[in-house]
Amino acid sequence: MKQTDRRSFLKIAGASLGVGVLYSAYPAARAAGEAEGFFASMGKANGEKVAPFSFVQLSDAHVGFNGPPDPLGTKAFESAVDLINGLPQRPDLILFTGDLTHDTEDKDVHVQRMKQFQEISKRINVPVIKCVPGEHDAGLDSGALYREFFGESYYSFDHRGVHFVALDNVSRAKPEVGTEQLSWLKRDLARFPKTAPIVVFTHRPLFDLRPDWEWFTSDGDDVMNVLSGYDNLTVLYGHIHRDDEHQTGSVHHYAARSLIFAFPDPTVAGPRKPIPFDKEHPFKNLGIRSVSFNGTAQPGSTPLSINDIELTAREFRGINGAQQLLRNPNL
């Protein structure tokens, strides 16, 4: 496991759910100086004091997809909803990082898939759900249908002292943010000091993970030049259908697993083909991640403890619920 920068405000903690990730945010730089002034002004603006909170990242449900390599359709998505609702402490937010639906050239069918995604997501007992599009949601019509159902494809908001930025790197029918959105991003972030805690969530990775697999954003370097000016910035993304951690300077990137099927490790040579479905182990490679923060970030310590948990058929059938055995703990 990679050492997380001790300045990073985003302390990933608690338990993961389904095939998403549960994060807890601890705005760390709130004791004095520039950061204290920033948090105070934000609290006056939105009426909320800076405080720890948790949120869930889900990704790549591909509602409407049903067949090889995964014949389970929305079952994993629905299972994740049940697990979220069963948490002893309700998260504040859900961030869904794209490919809510599976694309189709039949608009009427795609409309039904959008409605089905909304029907399932409305069952989540969390007050705020925020989304960004994936290429399957927005690539065929430049995001027109997505905006009808979910509103603007890029935007920002504040929550408990943290600034959230939703970026759209799919609606231009290619892996690109574009000059208009990049200008908006510069204006949006210019209001904040470099110490401000910021979470960016998007679909595709903003760095060149595997360009030959389309795991990149063509103007990602331009985006990162803007983001790298901030000390406490985290990027959450989907698209790659597997968990991944990456660091670019002071910026930390985390990918969530898919809610439908897995892709292979990008470090392995070969084509990008979904990992075959195993009917004996239907959730193989579709695990969950449990991450806890030990409360300290002293020199020589590792502030994060990460445990990967494989979702099994027993949990899927609801026998064990969230009571799962930790597998391959990475301490």
Say if residue 309's pLDDT is above 60. no
Of the candidate ranges 43-52, 95-104, 211-220, the one whose mean pLDDT is the lowest: 43-52
For residue 273, what are its two tokens? 């083909």
Neighbours of 268 (CB within 10 A): 6
How far CA 81 is from CA of 132, 134, 189, in Å, comes to 18, 20, 33
Identify the band that residue 205 occupies on the pLDDT scale cut at 50, 70 and 90: very high
User: Can you tell me the distance from the alpha carbon of 35 to that of 194, in angstroms, rounded to the nearest whole number?
Assistant: 9
Please tell me the pTM assigned to this model. Answer: 0.82
Say if residue 153's pLDDT is above 90. yes
pLDDT in tens, 244-287: 889 988 888 888 888 889 898 998 888 888 878 777 776 666 54
Domains and CATH numbers, the chain: 21-330 (3.60.21.10)
The per-residue pLDDT of the chain, averaged, comes to 77
Query: Alpha helices, DSSP H only, in 151-299?
Result: 179-189, 220-227
Neighbours of 211 (CB within 10 A): 11
Phi, psi of 247 (to 5 degrees): -130, 130
Dihedral, CA of residue 67, residue 258, residue 107 and residue 93, to nearest 10:
140
